[in-house]
Amino acid sequence: MLRESRHEKLLSILGEEGVLPIGEIATRLGVSGATARRDITELGRAGRLTRVYGGAVAAPTQDEERPFSEVVVDDLADKEAVARAAAELVADGDVLLLDIGTTTLQLAKLLRGRPVTVVTSNLAVYDELRDDPEVTLILLGGQVRANYRSVVGFLTESNIRQLRVGRLFLGASGVLPDGSVLDSTHVEVPVKRAMLGAAREVVLLVTAGKFPGDTGLARICGPEGIDTLITNKTSDPATLAVFREGDVEVVTV
Instruction: Note whether 189 and 79 are same-domain residues.
Output: yes
Instruction: Note whether 113 and 75 are same-domain residues.
Output: yes
Instruction: Note whether 17 and 41 are same-domain residues.
Output: yes
**Residue 174 resides in a domain:** yes
**Residue 172 resides in a domain:** yes
Q: How many whole angstroms separate alpha carbon 252 and alpha carbon 22?
A: 41
pLDDT tens track for 170-213: 999 899 999 999 887 777 888 999 999 999 999 999 999 899 76
Residues 6+ apart with CB under 8 A from 157: 52, 53, 190, 191, 194
- Boundaries of domain holding 38: 3-58
Instruction: Note whether 116 and 93 are same-domain residues.
Output: yes
pLDDT tens track for 132-169: 999 999 999 998 988 878 999 889 999 999 999 999 99
Instruction: Note whether 32 and 75 are same-domain residues.
Output: no
- Among 104, 247, 82, which residue's Cα sits nearest to residue 96? 104
The pTM (predicted TM-score) of the whole model is 0.76
**Residue 63 resides in a domain:** no
Q: How many whole angstroms separate alpha carbon 240 and alpha carbon 175?
A: 10
Residues 6+ apart with CB under 8 A from 196: 168, 170, 202, 220, 221, 225
Instruction: Note whether 113 and 218 are same-domain residues.
Output: yes
pLDDT tens track for 66-103: 676 667 667 789 999 999 999 999 999 999 999 998 99
> What's residue 47's pLDDT?
66
Instruction: Note whether 82 and 165 are same-domain residues.
Output: yes
> What's residue 92's pLDDT?
97
Residues 6+ apart with CB under 8 A from 242: 177, 178, 179, 223
Is the pLDDT at 62 greater than 50? The verdict is: no
CATH number at residue 51: 1.10.10.10
Instruction: Note whether 82 and 193 are same-domain residues.
Output: yes
Q: How many domains does the chain have?
A: 2
Instruction: Note whether 101 and 24 are same-domain residues.
Output: no
